[in-house]
């Protein structure tokens, strides 16, 4: 029975599987993206992301733990020097698996696994988008400066329009104002009009 054996076996013995995942992790550190089968990419994600979390805290103990898994001192040094600085503010989810379709020879599902912070196309789109805000906050000084010329133009147009209105339109405007008054005031104004 295979109770509790949740990890992906990948059709290999444990030593072969650990060596393969270590080599793939070192390649991912070196090249920032690699192409492999979908199942291996998912297994690599589970294997590699905890190591990236360890690399955020640069200590001798964490370096030795990561070296136990990767077995490559150059990959460990690059992971702790360069990659850990880029992923410092990211709370998990350091890698992305992108499906590429099926391989021609054996029809295996292929995928590309990459470090999220090293993909320039996705990062450019994120910077271009404006984040939506749920609550209304204070306005920027720049937006106030942009709005003032527009409001001055509107005021100028309204003053010109009010100068050109004939007396009949002014009477309609007065009636509209009286309709906006409270009901008791409306009754009084109606009584005055009847007299």
pLDDT digits (tens, 9 = 90+) for 84-126: 999 999 999 999 999 999 999 999 999 999 999 998 887 777 6
pLDDT, position 183? 56
pLDDT at residue 193 is higher than 60: no
- Higher pLDDT: 192 or 92? It is 92
User: Could you tell me the domains of the chain?
Assistant: 14-128 (3.90.1030.10)
CA distance 102 to 156: 66
* Confidence grade of residue 80 (pLDDT, cut at 50, 70, 90): very high
Q: What is the DSSP secondary-structure string of 133-155?
A: -SS--PPPHHHHHHHHHHHHHHH
DSSP state, residue 2: -
pLDDT given for residue 142 in this prediction: 58
Check residue 20 and give its pLDDT: 97
Residues 6+ apart with CB under 8 A from 127: none
pTM (predicted TM-score): 0.63
Cα 103 to its chain centre, rounded Å, is 31
Which of 110, 100, 115 has the alpha carbon at shortest distance from 36? 110
* CA 79 to centroid of chain Cα atoms: 24
Q: How do strand 33-37 and strand 95-102 relate by DSSP bridges? A: unpaired
Q: Residue 70: in which H helix or E strand, if any?
A: helix 60-70
Cα separation, 8 vs 38, in Å, equals: 12
Is 34 in a helix, a strand, or coil? Answer: strand
| More reliable by pLDDT, 36 or 123 | 36
Mean pLDDT of 146-171: 56
Q: What is the mean pLDDT of the chain?
A: 82
For residues 49 and 185, which has the higher predicted lDDT (pLDDT)? 49
How far apart CA 76 and CA 84 sit, in angstroms, is: 11
When pLDDT is cut at 50, 70 and 90, the band that residue 147 belongs to is low
Mean pLDDT of 54-79: 96
Q: At 104, is the secondary structure helix, strand, or coil? A: coil
pLDDT of residue 121: 83
CA distance 42 to 8: 9
What band does 24 get if pLDDT is binned at 50, 70 and 90? very high
Cα separation, 176 vs 167, in Å, equals: 14
């Amino acid at each position: 029975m295979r109770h509790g054996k949740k990890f992906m076996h990948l059709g290999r013995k444990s030593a072969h599987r650990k060596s393969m995942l270590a080599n793939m992790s070192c390649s991912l550190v070196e090249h920032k993206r690699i192409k492999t089968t979908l199942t291996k990419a998912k297994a690599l994600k589970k294997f590699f992301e905890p190591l990236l979390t360890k690399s955020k805290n640069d200590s001798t103990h964490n370096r030795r733990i990561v070296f136990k898994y990767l077995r490559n001192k150059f990959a460990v040094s690059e992971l702790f020097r360069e990659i850990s600085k880029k992923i410092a503010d990211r709370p998990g989810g350091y890698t992305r698996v992108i499906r590429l379709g099926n391989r021609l020879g054996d029809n295996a599902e292929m995928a590309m696994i990459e470090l999220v912070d090293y993909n320039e196309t996705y990062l450019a789109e994120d910077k271009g988008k404006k984040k939506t805000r749920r609550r209304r906050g204070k306005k920027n000084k720049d937006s106030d400066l942009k709005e003032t010329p527009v409001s001055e133009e509107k005021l100028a147009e309204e003053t010109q329009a009010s100068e050109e209105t004939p007396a009949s339109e002014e009477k309609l405007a007065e009636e509209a104002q009286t309709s906006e008054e409270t009901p008791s005031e409306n009754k009084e104004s109606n009584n005055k009009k009847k007299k």
